[in-house]
Amino acid sequence: MQTTILDVSGNKSQPLAIDAAISFKPFIQYLEKRLVEERTVKSGLYAEALSQFTKANLSDKDIAIKEIHNYASLLEYVYACLSPASEGEGRLAWGLCFPFLPVAFYGTDLMYELLSKRMEGYAYEVTRTPEEYHRERLQLLYSFILKRLYNFQAPVKKAQYHVGLNKTTGLMQCYMVDINTDFVDVSAKSALPVIDFVQLYTHLSEGGGFEILEEMLPLALFKFRGICIMTVTDVTAEEAVNNIRKIRLTRTGLTDEESYQKVIQSLKSLVRNREIEFDLFPLLKVNDVPVFSMAKGGTGILFEVYGEHRLTAEEFRRQATAFAAKPLFFFSSDIFLETRKEYSFLEHFRHLGVKSLALMPIFHLHEPVGVMAVHTWGEHTFDEKVLALLEPAISPIGQLLRIYVDGFNLEIERVIKEKFTSIQPSVQWKFNEVAWNYIYHSKKNLPVVLGNILFEEVYPLYGAIDIRNSTVERNKAIIADIDNHLKTLASTLDSLQEFLHNDLLKEMIYHCQQWQQVITQEQLSSSVENEMYKFLEEEATAYLQHVASQIPESRKLINNCLENLDSNVNKNELEVSMQMINNAINDYFEANKHKLQESYPCYFEKFRTDGIEYDIYIGQSITPAKDFSHFHLKDLRLWQLSSMAAIAKLTHSLLIQMPRELYTTQLIFVHNQPIDISFRADERRFDVEGAYNIRYQMIKKRIDKVHIRNTEERLTQPGKIALIYSDGRDIEDFLPFIHYLQETGVLLPELEELELEDLQGLTGLKALRVGVTMPPL
């Protein structure tokens, strides 16, 4: 035991002006009471202690803290009477401190060791400021006054937590300090003020501090005499597990590096060894098939050993499936000593420099959700006792991995929802209403009808970016590839006459020549094209393989021919060029789709054909909570015209990169009357509603290849934007925008006003056409 005076706040306490002193009177009164009540052999201890204090005549004496060492023998009686008999001095962090001041003056060696180390070797977290420490002391002090003098129990915790960082190990350490005020008396120096406890309780229950009592009950009004009992408990393990649980409750969980590192540091604090490393590897599945995790946290050894850098997707799938079916625990304090065949996988860990290794399957609700690797580098090792220390953290780790897996699944759903279905944020509220109505009626066992999702009186905007003559270009590429195949085949068949002479070879040469004549046609029907491919891929290929097996010396010649028959250079070049255009357009819309929502929320949906088409719907029914005006529609129309010009320039700039030059045309259909749309669950997209509105949809489907009246010229042309409309009033919004973009150099000066040919069921369509200013290539 020691009688050293120690500031247990770590020099964080602020001056607190109170009339307080050390006094043994409350303890002496306690002994007198216990001596009357006690009937066991403890009564002898209490009698002896009371006898010693009576001899010292200390009942009404205040003791200066500087003189406390003179009473060391009496303090031992306090310790003997108040400390638990089951705990030895070497295992108990127990002590006495000044009434309501953070100054200890007597205690066990362990208490002094913990608190002195905490101050000398630990740095307090900056989150616990001196002001916060001062507030905690006020809470303890006023809750004591209210209970003793007003019989009012204030909601306050007596235990204080001191969290620090060990400067030597770099690990967190946490102590719980419990202050027992049973041996402190308080008295008022004058009449006690009257307190409205209803108002006080309301203030405290609403999160208010005890500072309000400093005016109602000034501390100078009271006198405190006695001693406080302090018990210090190392709760580092509990705090480490609590930190992991807190991360589970955050929005990010394990998805950001900072949270991941907090988990790792908490685990290191739990095992009290900074040389032990941890890695978490979540078990992710798509369609119930394991897939690679993208997360690389901690030291990343599991990512290195079981990641895509070392395993193919199929190998990982096989190993992860086997693990999920039968999760196995592995531990070795030295993996270099493990030589059994089933431990061959350890070679990869040895290569990374791992010494001790534990692979622990992690479960949540009996389902495997991942693996935790516990390991050391170099010559550092650990034994199975360390793994036992991790037991309290296993369940929270399982919950964290479950949350990570659920987050991954939600991300998959988000991408599907955003990229592949028609449910967008602008209309999500309507789906929520219908879904809630469905759930409500289901729970109430009422007839369930999945309501129609309808938006009335919305303005439609339609645009199409088409690849010019894509069908013709595709046909040219196919003919060029087939012509090349037939030439190669004909040359190979001629060369084979050096090795054999039979009627079958002559027949094959004849068929090849016949197909070469057919290929001279500028356009092939689909049936002829299929027959030609059948000849090349089945008849000719099978024949050549037969000859190669019979005449080995012809094998090299035939293999070169078969390799040529498998290639489609022209078609591949065309597909690459078309893909470049579509990807560029798609990326443009993806980058700008959020900008569309800035003025007023709208519904935007795009479709891929040979190019890209899109529908936009905007109106009051899309967002009832926000007033819609014609200016919102005009803003969207200006974006529509500007974006068409930007896309025309974008696709034009790709010409120098394309293996085969392709051009795009830009078309806008202007419909100035609102329509109704409803969601078609079977196609998971919106469509027009009502007989009148269907005319809008019909026009859209028939105008892509419309000609100018009395000519053979297509309306849509590369480098130009065409706007189709029915009535002159339809384009009143667009004309100022066109002039504006002409003045700013985005569009060319010439504006064509055109009449269009009659289409099936459609007459009187008109168009504007304007060129886009193209940058030089």
Which tens digit of pLDDT belongs to each residue from 535-557?
898 889 999 999 999 898 999 99
In a domain, 320, yes or no: yes
- Tokens for 308, please give them: 């895509």
Q: What is the mean pLDDT of residues 229-241?
A: 89
Residue 304: give its domain's CATH number: 3.30.450.40
In a domain, 57, yes or no: yes
Question: For the ranges 131-145, 300-314, 323-337, 752-766, which has the lowest average pLDDT?
Answer: 131-145
Same domain as 404, residue 493: no
Same domain as 705, residue 630: yes
What is the Cα 342 distance to its own chain's centre?
36
In a domain, 132, yes or no: yes
Assign 3-state DSSP to the chain and report helix, strand, coil percentages, each to 5: 50, 20, 30
List the alpha helices (DSSP H) in 457-540. Answer: 470-496, 503-518, 526-534
d(CA 180, CA 184): 9
**% the chain with pLDDT above 70:** 90
Same domain as 174, residue 307: no
Question: For the ranges 161-170, 210-219, 634-643, which has the lowest average pLDDT?
Answer: 161-170
Same domain as 188, residue 45: yes
Same domain as 400, residue 429: no
Q: What is the mean pLDDT of residues 285-299?
A: 77
In a domain, 502, yes or no: yes
Q: Which of 638, 583, 635, 632 is nearest to 612 (CA)?
A: 583
- What residue type is 382 in one-letter code? F
Give the burial class of 241: count Cβ atoms within 10 A of its Cβ; 0-12 exposed, 13-18 middle, 19 or more buried: buried
Last residue of a domain, one of 570, 597, 629: 570
d(CA 533, CA 121): 82
In a domain, 621, yes or no: yes
**Contact between residue 385 and residue 259 where contact means Cβ atoms under 8 Å apart:** no
- Tokens for 184, please give them: 């402190």
pLDDT at 416: 62
pLDDT tens for 265-290 read 999 999 999 999 999 999 988 888 89
pLDDT tens for 496-518 read 988 888 889 889 999 899 898 88
Same domain as 431, residue 486: no
**% the chain with pLDDT above 90:** 49
In a domain, 465, yes or no: no
pLDDT tens for 430-485 read 877 777 677 667 777 877 666 678 889 999 999 999 999 888 898 889 889 999 99
Same domain as 734, residue 751: yes
Question: For the ranges 203-207, 432-436, 672-676, 713-717, which has the lowest average pLDDT?
Answer: 203-207
Tell me the residue range of the domain where 335 lies: 238-414
Q: What is the mean pLDDT of residues 352-368?
A: 95
pLDDT tens for 24-58 read 999 999 999 999 998 888 899 999 999 999 999 98
Angle formed by the axes of helices 555-566 and 541-550, to 10°? Answer: 160
Last residue of a domain, one of 550, 570, 590: 570
pLDDT at 120 over 60: no
d(CA 669, CA 766): 10
Band (pLDDT 50/70/90 cuts) for residue 419 is: low
Same domain as 115, residue 90: yes
Q: Is 726 helix (H, G, I), strand (E, B) or coil?
A: coil
Same domain as 512, residue 608: no
**Contact between residue 430 and residue 455 where contact means Cβ atoms under 8 Å apart:** yes
Who wins on pLDDT, 438 or 690? 438
**Contact between residue 671 and residue 696 where contact means Cβ atoms under 8 Å apart:** yes
In a domain, 594, yes or no: yes
In a domain, 459, yes or no: no
Same domain as 656, residue 765: yes
Q: Which of 742, 381, 756, 422 is nearest to 607 (CA)?
A: 422
d(CA 509, CA 753): 58
pLDDT at 125 over 50: no
Measured in degrees and rounded to the nearest 5, phi and psi for residue 448 equal -105, 125
Last residue of a domain, one of 531, 550, 570: 570
Torsion of CA 94, 98, 103, 107, to 10 degrees: -20
Same domain as 403, residue 377: yes
- What residue type is 421 in one-letter code? T
d(CA 126, CA 123): 9
- Tokens for 587, please give them: 């990326």
List the alpha helices (DSSP H) in 172-235. Answer: 197-205, 213-216
Same domain as 143, residue 252: no
Provide the number of structural domains found in the chain.
5
pLDDT at 200 over 90: no
pLDDT tens for 62-106 read 999 999 999 999 999 999 999 887 777 778 889 999 998 889 999
**Contact between residue 731 and residue 685 where contact means Cβ atoms under 8 Å apart:** no
Residue/partner pairs of 509-512 with CB below 8 Å, 24 or more apart: 511/535, 511/539, 512/486, 512/540
d(CA 603, CA 459): 10
